[in-house]
A = this chain, B = another copy of it.
Amino acid sequence: MPVGLPISGNTILFALVGDPVRQAMLPTLFNPMLAEQGVDAVMLPVHAPQDRFDEVMRGLQAIGNVAGIAVTVPHKSSALAYADEITPAAEAIGAINALRRNPDGTWTGDNFDGRGFVAGLAASDIDPAGLTVTLVGTGGAGSALAVALLDAGVGTLRLYDRDTTKATEVAARVEQRSHGTVRVTDTLNLTGADLVINATPLGMHVDDPLPFDPTGLEPHAVVADIIMKPDQTPVMKRARELGYMVHPGLHMLTNQLDCYRKFFSNTLSAVGSSENQV
């Protein structure tokens, strides 16, 4: 059972903000990393109910020994308001999942979902360069994946969302970032896709309909999901039954741990100096 360093008055805090937050894996995965590095810091689950998100964020940023804030569903877009500056990738995505306190007291935001997803593909020997990808769902996570997939050189990126306006907006934000082709489709187009990704929440609840039917995909096609719980979603089970390779959601998180670690590592000094010691 992994355990952390003992918590004392000196311990630095990182918060993961979500609603709900119980199911979130980041504290479980990140705390052993901190302990292993001998950093006197902890990553805490922070349940920020939607209607109290602003109070929670203002409170966390006012706490002197909070060094960083990770953000999960449904707060990734709202969290933008708490960043003084964001990276160009986060700008294109329109959402952040990480905020860090700088030595001057300002906060920088970034988004690692897409980079984590692409790194997860690489770890499974899938190179997205030149591929035809159908991305289903263009919310916060979908936008992040779109940006990272274009940055990784996909050939054609098809964006599909039940809400076509949303998909069109995401396309407008991301398409100047690459030479790949971005297409918004009114109907789901899986024809010739090398990689099909579920970036909708469909599959978290047992009664959810499938986000798409993988029947008839190319034999070499990969079906990926970004849902972490359950670790095998219904669409993945169906794809597996049909003989397709599947790529579960947990890869996106495990492969962004290192992004979080690097992003947060240079904030520790910012916090260490914030308190006037008696």
Residues on A close to B: CB < 8 A? 1-11, 13, 16, 19-28, 31-32, 42-49, 52, 55-65, 204-205, 274-278
Whether A7 contacts B4 in the complex (CB less than 8 A), given A21-B275, A60-B59, A64-B49, comes out as yes
Cross-chain contact A6 with B3 (CB below 8 angstroms): yes
Provide the main secondary structure of the chain A interface: loop
B28 touches A8 (CB 8 A): yes
Which 5 pairs, one residue from A and one from B, show the smallest C-beta to C-beta distance?
Answer: A59-B59, A47-B64, A55-B62, A52-B62, A3-B3
Taking a contact as CB atoms under 8 Å apart, the answer to whether B11 and A45 are in contact is yes
Nearest neighbor of A13 in chain B, beta-carbon distance? B44
- Tell me the complex Cα distance, A38–B129, Å: 49
Residues of B within 8 A of A276 (CB): 20
- Tell me whether A63 and B56 are in contact (CB under 8 A): yes
Chain B residues, Cβ within 8 Å of A65? 21, 45-47
18 pairs, CB–CB < 8 Å, chain A vs chain B:
A1-B5, A3-B6, A6-B31, A7-B42, A9-B16, A9-B21, A9-B25, A9-B28, A9-B45, A11-B44, A11-B45, A13-B44, A19-B64, A42-B44, A45-B65, A46-B63, A55-B62, A59-B62
Say whether A20 contacts B275, CB under 8 Å. yes
Is there contact, CB below 8 Å, between A27 and B11? yes
Q: In the complex, how many angstroms separate the beta carbon of A105 from the nearest chain B beta carbon?
A: 11
CB-CB < 8 A to A25: which residues of B? 9
Name A49's closest neighbour in chain B (CB-CB). Answer: B64
A47 to B47, CA, bound (A): 19
Contact between chains at B45 and A42 (CB < 8 Å): no
Q: How far is the CB of A227 from chain B (nearest CB, A)?
A: 11
Chain B residues within an 8 Å CB radius of A275? 19-22, 47
